[in-house]
């Protein structure tokens, strides 16, 4: 379906989306709970990796000639929702049309914000960052559940737009279901959520090395991300822990994922930016012990919610106290419900 077929419509919300596993369920959520005809979705990225059903208002951007219709649609839409800010074309179009920025809502993914801190410093990346700085400073609305992320945007980019607290995607909804308790003698430890270097798996494996002779098993989800990096993690971990390390390299359907969670006792997230939010929420909601870095934006927000989480600098392998487990379950069940997400999105869409 050509982008031009929707270019002349108005009073609608335009979603500019980088394709990822979060996007198809989000589109379905909007379709099921809102007036879908008032939303247009423009998709960038790998459609094969993230299959999404296209429709008259769900368009895949893959031809340069579509840019002109995109510009027209950006100007005619009532609101523009930016699902991440990774796309240089989108950043440049906003830079060239600054009058659009006041109606933009940036759903922050973490890595797009932390580009400020972790980019390679070359002439090209510094030039691009200067363009981003102009854009981000003038964006009208910032969408993130973690206020600390918004504060970083203020600190790094002098941003002054409105903050909307919203956990954005169905992947962050906690489904309060009973897990089948699978008996296991070992202490089962999960490290990270994907095969991306920001998980910093090797550093965690080194921290766990003193426990290698104890009755432990280490599970590392590596089905998503960089295949070459995943193999480096496996080789490094097996060199220390042998067959106590289990690499989870196949994508798990929901039922399998629930069964997997039922055997995890401790989860460790050494991510140097906001990442794995859905994983962390699920693990806390199921009463698991979670270690995180205390210098990432989500740490303070989760603590402020009253959740019992642990600093990775004080890493140990004791299980979570039953009272703390019950306490975390109650908070997550209340805060990360589908009803809450729909209400939060409704406040953005109106």
Helix/strand/coil for 172? helix
Contact by Cβ (8 Å): 3, 29: no
pLDDT in tens, 194-211: 899 989 999 999 999 999
SS (H, E, C) 134-152: HHHHHCCEEECCCHHHHHH
HSE-CB for 278 with a 13 A CA cutoff: 13
- Rounded to the nearest 5°, which phi and psi values hold at 318? -80, 145
Q: What is the pTM of this model?
A: 0.84
All domains of the chain, ordered by start, with CATH?
3-171+339-349 (3.40.50.2000), 175-335 (3.40.50.2000)
**Predicted pLDDT of residue 177:** 72
Q: Which of 53, 50, 56 is nearest to 36 (CA)?
A: 56
- Could you tell me if 202 and 270 are in contact, meaning their C-beta atoms sit under 8 angstroms apart? no
Rounded distance, CA 308 to CA 287, Å?
10
> pLDDT, tens digit, for every residue of 20-48?
988 999 999 999 999 999 999 999 999 98
- Residues 138, 106: contact at Cβ < 8 Å? no
Question: Whole-number mean pLDDT of the chain?
Answer: 91
Strand extents, DSSP E, the chain? 13-18, 39-44, 58-60, 79-83, 104-107, 141-143, 162-164, 187-191, 216-221, 245-248, 266-269, 289-292, 310-311
């Amino acid at each position: 379906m050509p982008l031009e077929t929707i270019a002349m419509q108005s009073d609608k919300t335009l979603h500019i989306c980088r394709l990822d596993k979060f996007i198809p369920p989000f589109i379905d959520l909007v379709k099921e709970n809102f007036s879908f005809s008032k939303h247009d979705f423009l998709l960038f990225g790998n459609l094969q990796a993230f299959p999404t059903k296209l429709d008259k208002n769900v368009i895949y951007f893959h031809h340069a000639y579509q840019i002109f219709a995109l510009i027209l649609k950006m100007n005619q839409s009532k609101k523009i929702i930016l699902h991440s800010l990774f796309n240089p074309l989108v950043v440049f179009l906003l830079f060239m049309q600054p009058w659009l920025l006041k109606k933009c809502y940036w759903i922050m993914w973490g890595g797009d914000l932390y580009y400020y801190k972790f980019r390679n410093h070359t002439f090209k990346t510094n030039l691009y960052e200067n363009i981003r700085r102009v854009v981000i400073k003038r964006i009208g609305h910032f969408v993130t559940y973690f206020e600390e992320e918004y504060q970083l945007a203020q600190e790094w980019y002098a941003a002054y737009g409105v903050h909307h607290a919203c956990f954005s995607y169905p992947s962050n909804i906690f489904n309060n279901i009973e897990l089948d308790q699978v008996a296991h003698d070992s202490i089962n430890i999960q490290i990270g959520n994907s095969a991306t270097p920001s998980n910093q798996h090797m550093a965690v494996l080194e921290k766990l090395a003193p426990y290698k002779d104890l009755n432990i098993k280490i599970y590392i989800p590596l089905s998503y991300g960089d295949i070459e990096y995943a193999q480096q993690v496996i080789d490094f971990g097996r060199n220390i822990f042998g067959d106590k390390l289990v690499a989870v390299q196949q994508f798990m359907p929901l039922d399998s994922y629930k069964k997997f969670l039922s055997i995890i006792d401790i989860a460790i997230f050494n991510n140097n930016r906001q990442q794995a939010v859905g994983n962390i929420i699920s693990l806390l909601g199921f009463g698991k012990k979670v270690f995180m870095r205390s210098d990432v934006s989500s740490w303070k927000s989760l603590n402020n919610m009253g959740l019992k989480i642990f600093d990775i600098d004080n890493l140990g392998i004791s299980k979570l106290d039953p009272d703390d487990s019950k306490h975390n379950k109650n908070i997550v069940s209340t805060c990360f419900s589908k009803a809450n997400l729909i209400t939060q999105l409704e406040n953005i869409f109106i």
